[in-house]
Amino acid sequence: MNKKENISKATEELEKITNDKSKKNKFDEILKLEKKYPDDVGILQVISRNYLAIGKNTEALNYLLKAKSLEPKNYSIYYNLGSLHQTFKKDDDAEEFFKQSIELNKNFINGYNALADLSLKKKNYAETIKYLKASVKIDFSIKNINAISILALAIVTNYFKTKNLIELKDAGIYFKKAHELDPSNDKILKQLISFYHLVGMKNEAVYLSKKRTGVFEI
């Protein structure tokens, strides 16, 4: 059996274990599977997540490092290493791993969103906007609505520093898109209403407010 066939077989057996609702000790089964396929990166990453879930951080890290040594250009491993270091409260290290994940896969949305989260935590709104714009450029659908909504808010927050009116026009695009994608989301609707008040679009704000509270039917 060649390496490609081996990976395929390992993945098939792993999915069988994880999808079997009758199994009570799935982790034990996965550990046994690792002995059968010791160099399967997918299995190693699943084991790492399981160890992290039970608080065995050292074991979780060691399994990811082994996976990285086997596939040093696998973007998902770097993303998981970044997520792991976030749990260690090592944001600088996490940031480097997330950056490596998007360097290896330019279309990796989770990597951009993770970097945006770290930038937002540091109140670096320009960086937040940069990463979220890259993210929504790849996926401007409801699957990525959280990034779209946060991008709109980050642009407005940055505007209060820059006073660049062009930014408000930009923010409006993302607020309206988020509402268009999920019109029943009250949080997003309130954000759009607040934005309309901010930019002096009082009629639009009042219209949406009445629609939201059911003062009149549309």
User: What is the rounded CA–CA span in Å between residue 10 and residue 68?
Assistant: 18
Report the pLDDT averaged over residues 87-104.
97
Residue 22 has a pLDDT of 80
Q: How far is CA 96 from CA 6, 17, 93, 102, in A?
A: 31, 33, 5, 10
Largest CA distance in the chain: 68
> Confidence class of residue 216 from pLDDT cuts 50, 70 and 90?
very low
User: What is the rounded CA–CA span in Å between residue 42 and residue 11?
Assistant: 7
The domains of the chain, with CATH numbers, are 1-86 (1.25.40.10)
Q: What is the pTM of this model?
A: 0.90
Of 2-6, 21-25, 86-90, which gets the smallest average pLDDT?
A: 2-6
DSSP 202-216: HHHHHHHHHHHHTSS
User: What is the rounded CA–CA span in Å between residue 126 and residue 37?
Assistant: 44
